[in-house]
A and B are shown apart, each in its own frame.
Chain A
Amino acid sequence: MTMTLARFQRLLDVRRADPARWPQPERGAAELLLASDTAAAVALEEARALDALIARGAETHADATGVLRALAARPLPPQRRRFLWRRWPSELLTLEFAPAWPRLAALAGVAVLGFAIGLTDLGPITVTTNSEDLTSIVADNDIGEVVFAPDPLPEAHP
């Protein structure tokens, strides 16, 4: 992996001038560039100086006494609560069903069930008491006869 000066400058801007913060794959390339390009070394020094300048105000203490006093001086407003019947859509949306495999297993199960139902071809339910009628209904519904017959539609040939 090679690194350009522009990429090195971006690394300095995004991850600061501290090699410990650089991602491992880029650190080696950055060090190679530093060893071969004086402009990269100058950029590193400049970035260190800029980081130091920006960070100088980091430890400024903020005295929040005024805020806390103002808060204490007034009664707190009522809290906003939502009842379950109003929040159930968002609750459902934010539910995390992790890990994902039970969902995948359920989906696969439903797919297998649907496939099996499709193969069995349940057909219309007809109430009859005559055994011959029942036989003809079953025969009419037996699509397997059409599918697996050697030549199911002989009349279709010219």
Chain B
Amino acid sequence: MLRIATGDEPAFRVLARRYAPLALRLARRVMGSSADAEEIVQEALLRLWVNAPRWRPVASFRTWFYRVVINLCLNRKRRAPFLPLEDVSDPADPTPDAAAGMERRETDRAVATAIAELPERQRAAIALTYHEGLSNAETAAALGTSISAVETLLVRAKRTLRQRLGPMLDIGSKLT
């Protein structure tokens, strides 16, 4: 970031290559739309470049960048209605058994839909903690809130998910 702050464009390209996939994955989960997610990540990276001279290392870069992405996602969602996940796509099925594969895909789709239907901040908390591997404290920094607020988001999100995925929890336990 220090090099980028001095206008080092190749350094920016290196950073973009490293963090764009992570940001895209997060934005996709929060937005539910690949096209929107790509626009958001592009915007986030441009903001990173433009504001690099003013960046201060008060938090880890990853947390700060996630915060930029999350804020862009939430701002865009305030303007546009939510679209259900378009690419909860069928992941490659490693199992030879077609029926098991189909069941697995159905479960994946149901889980993705249930997560996509959560309120946006709850969805962001789930994405950051479960899918990006952030601690509750890092998630709080990325969401610009307190740890206790993140815990409340997680409790509410998981209560909703338990209700919606109740019948599948047995399936989940078998799969683990």
Contact = CB atoms under 8 A, between A and B. Distances in A.
Nearest to A15: B136
B16 to A, nearest CB: 6
A49 B28 contact: no
Contact of A57 (B51, B56, B111, B173): B111
B98 to A, nearest CB: 19
B20 to A, nearest CB: 4
Given A52-B173, A56-B107, A57-B131, 7 more contacts: A50-B172, A57-B112, A60-B25, A64-B17, A80-B51, A80-B54, A82-B54
Interface in B112-165: 112, 115, 126, 130-131, 133, 136, 151, 154-155, 158-159, 161-162, 165
A70 interface: yes
A53 B168 contact: yes
Contacts of B168: 53
Contact of B7 (A46, A61, A79, A82): A79
Interface size class of B (residues with CB under 8 A): 35 or more
Contacts of B38: 64, 66-67, 70
Interface string A28-63: 000000000000000001101111111111101111
Interface of B: 5, 7, 9, 12-13, 16-17, 20-25, 28-29, 38, 41-42, 45-46, 49-54, 56, 91, 107-108, 111-112, 115, 126, 130-131, 133, 136, 151, 154-155, 158-159, 161-162, 165, 168-170, 172-173, 175-176
B25 A62 contact: yes
Contacts of A48: 173, 176
Nearest to A70: B42
Interface residues of A, number: 35
A49 B45 contact: no
A13 interface: yes
A53 B53 contact: no
A53 to B, nearest CB: 4
Contact of A52 (B115, B133, B136, B175): B175
Contacts of B173: 45, 48-49, 52
Contacts of B107: 53, 56
Contact of A76 (B21, B22, B49, B162): B49
